[in-house]
Structure 1
């Protein structure tokens, strides 16, 4: 009998590459360890993504920055903030980001090929699938060409190198081309806080390299699981990769290495409007 395909997503592969210990807590341990308090910036990111999704359901004339800001306010999160004053201030700052981005970069009459579209493709014994924020379609030299668009709301705008070296975006490009049956060699990261776009061309060589990297990571995931099944201590099968990012890990309280690497951040540490550290948001 042929071996079953190994199901992977870019998010899971990236999670393991970042920290196998966190991957274990998220995907392997059942019941999973209790997470810390909800992060305000996580809710903000979700609200921005949802507003951009819902905007395309409006009539063409209503796809404006003002409408996007209104949609954001309707679903603004209420957890993770220090107090109501901080929550309201962050909401208005984020609404201004979104309105500027929509007015500067969104063509209301150019319908996307996909919004939060699930796509997939095989590679060897891998079955790769993922959900993409937006897929645009353009005409290049008389032929259709697709563009993968991923929204970002982090404090630091991504660079062209970030875009070009992203395994996640390369896998999305492969999956989009396979699912929608049209060439896809351009990927873009849209940084909403600064209304900037980082784009890169993902050629065949880059895709093949990133696909091989995905295969190696999938092998590492399987090997970690085998070590666990053969009796290795869980923390050895899934070692931590300490970094400053440990300070905002959901499982900080359960990881000795993470607690040594960074102090625990407050749930609102990345909320826009918090003094000088917010300059990256202000753009």
Structure 2
């Protein structure tokens, strides 16, 4: 799950302080981090979300990981966080009580809990004094939760782990980390990694991209436990589809090589300060257009030291 972990895992994991590499000079003062946030530090680890950011647009990665520019909460991402919380909490109940009505009844309390932990979510429905839009949004969350019961039977599942934080360090020194929605372990010891998606399943030509996050997690589990997960399963609540993939060792070795190459590119960009934008159709949804040269904006002063020419 990506939406519910960004504020907890991603910000801390990619912002872990490390000593500046030798041969660097100090950057000029007056950075984006001066506005009351923690000082900028070089990236220290990689998660599926941040790997995806860099592949999508290196400048977006910089804005999120190094500059830590604020982003407005979105209804779609927040709905995903809410639904994930409900599905996680449902497994606290005895198997026979894991019903759709019980799951939907958890939504109000989980929404209250989410707002308490993230005060910025108050602005989502600030322009909805009558509550009509909020009621419609909560109704959509209910529909997603209810659809899950057509795809899986929680009364027959006993997850080994829920919202499992995983982290490992590869031989190269690269640290990988993230949060897995659910881990199922069969009596025979076979492992299944499950991720809930509140959007729709991708078209077949984009299936490999959708599985990147899952193979990332499979790689971490393999390196941690020396066990290759038997199955990777993506549950798309938006469309009612389930995408599965059974990885083999060659798949995970290929992902590892890709991540090492990606991390080397991130390292070079960090040292040089050269974070180039990569325009795509997704730019229309980016919160950072005011800072992006593609939209006539100017990035904040680079807050990290750069190597001398």
Q: TM-score range by the shorter chain?
A: 0.7 to 0.9
Partner-residue secondary structure (3-state), 2:244: strand
Contact between 2:45 and 2:176, CA under 8 Å: does it hold in 1?
yes
Shift of residue 49 of structure 1? Answer: 0.8
| Counterpart Cα distance in 1 of 2:251 and 2:203 | 17
Residue in structure 2 matching 1:33, options 62, 69, 74: 69
Shift of residue 63 of structure 1? Answer: 1.2
Contact between 1:97 and 1:194, CA under 8 Å: does it hold in 2?
no
Over 3 Å counting, the alpha-carbon distance change for 1:92 and 1:15 in structure 2 is same
* Structure 2 runs not aligned, ≥5 long: 1-20, 22-43, 116-121, 298-309
Q: TM-score, normalised by structure 1?
A: 0.76
Over 3 Å counting, the alpha-carbon distance change for 1:196 and 1:258 in structure 2 is farther
* 2:267 maps to 1:222: yes
* Structure 1 runs not aligned, ≥5 long: 229-236, 261-283
Contact between 1:133 and 1:151, CA under 8 Å: does it hold in 2?
yes
* 2:92 maps to 1:47: no
Shift of residue 238 of structure 1? Answer: 0.7
Over 3 Å counting, the alpha-carbon distance change for 1:179 and 1:159 in structure 2 is farther
Partner-residue secondary structure (3-state), 1:17: helix
Count of residue pairs the alignment pairs up: 242
Once superposed, what is the RMSD of the aligned Cα atoms? 2.5
Cross-structure match for 1:119: 166
Cross-structure match for 2:152: 105
| Counterpart Cα distance in 2 of 1:148 and 1:14 | 19
Shift of residue 159 of structure 1? Answer: 5.0
Over 3 Å counting, the alpha-carbon distance change for 1:190 and 1:123 in structure 2 is same
Q: TM-score, normalised by structure 2?
A: 0.70
Over 3 Å counting, the alpha-carbon distance change for 1:91 and 1:256 in structure 2 is same
Over 3 Å counting, the alpha-carbon distance change for 1:162 and 1:204 in structure 2 is farther
| Counterpart Cα distance in 2 of 1:134 and 1:54 | 12
Contact between 2:232 and 2:246, CA under 8 Å: does it hold in 1?
yes
Over 3 Å counting, the alpha-carbon distance change for 1:9 and 1:223 in structure 2 is same
* 2:122 maps to 1:85: no
Shift of residue 181 of structure 1? Answer: 5.3
Cross-structure match for 1:130: 178
Cross-structure match for 1:157: 201
Over 3 Å counting, the alpha-carbon distance change for 1:52 and 1:102 in structure 2 is same
Cross-structure match for 1:66: 101
Contact between 1:176 and 1:184, CA under 8 Å: does it hold in 2?
yes
* 2:292 maps to 1:255: yes
Partner-residue secondary structure (3-state), 2:201: coil
Contact between 1:40 and 1:79, CA under 8 Å: does it hold in 2?
no
